Amino acid sequence: MYVRGLELVDFRSYQRVVVELGPGPCVLVGPNGVGKTNLVEAMAYVATLESHRVATDAPLVRFGTPRAVVRCAVVHDERELLIELSIEPGKANKARLGRSAVTRTRDILGALRLVLFAPEDLTLIRGDPSERRRYLDELLVARQPRFAGVRSDYDRVLKQRNALLRSAYLARKTGGTRGGDLSTLNVWDVHLAEHGARLVRARLDLVDALAPHVAKAYAAVSASRSDARIAYSSSYTQSENLEEALLAALAESRLQEIERGVTLVGPHRDELTLTLGAMPAKGYASHGESWSYALALRLAAYDLLRDDGVEPVLILDDVFAELDAGRRERLAELVGGASQVIVTCAVEDDVPSTLRGMRFEVGGGEVRRV
């Protein structure tokens, strides 16, 4: 699979730009701040319907314009498919596949498989658990797009349950004698356990499949003897019946939740633990080890998707400038055979020669092949 063409209209800094890409290495060169990351962010958005840089869609639309449009031509098994997205903040986004409108935007998920590594990925190691949960869920959806619906159902139930708990909490704080109406809380517990169990079961299976790839990728990138291990951490996953275990955990935490006005148990609170040797990676890994671990997580995702039978597009956004010479060469050796690897850089000499294929200069709102 590879991206053959990309067109952006009013996306980020671009009024309009068209880029014709090809298989193999593609290097986007230009000073910092000229829009290289905007290009790869647009491709990643087509693949995930999320930005790795911002939490909302508004910053994706060029200032003063009502919408942004991203068109991406993807080639797989010698067949080309055009994916089109219209991003309209405050409204429902619209999408087309092969020039036909789709009922739901998430129906385009799976049309482009893509793995992006960017400087922001250091938060996978150093950041909050939410970053690692997001990593798992994005990979889960990339492998099985139907889980986008499971995530959506869980988030909807969680929002309703939190609203109920919050109302009860505020009623108590303002002197209400009954502390708010919690008569429907048991119903929301059942829904949360149902959708949550499906999500957690899928995450557990994913971590089992991913773990050996992470260990292998870390060893290859870092040339270290320390083992990189991942594990799913939760208070209720020891039981074979996850739905019953989650219901029991909700019942046990009921009083605390009422006192705090928020749901304290469920997959939205779980953790992907990362260890390096005998120590947790967060707080103990050096800068170089953290970069290697973050790279290993992305490369493991790439290998897992490739094992599923569709080789994804691999993007390395401003990565090589942060790596020493040894890690640069080892990374280039690992990804050199990818069907398409897109590299962004400010200095072309930072990119190993084995990855210098098609070259594009980015600047002044334009992308020019050289």
Going by the annotation, the residues of the binding site for ATP are: 30-37
- Binding-site positions: 30-37
How far apart, in whole angstroms, are the C-alpha atoms of residue 74 and residue 268? 33
CA separation for the pair 226, 240 (Å, rounded): 32
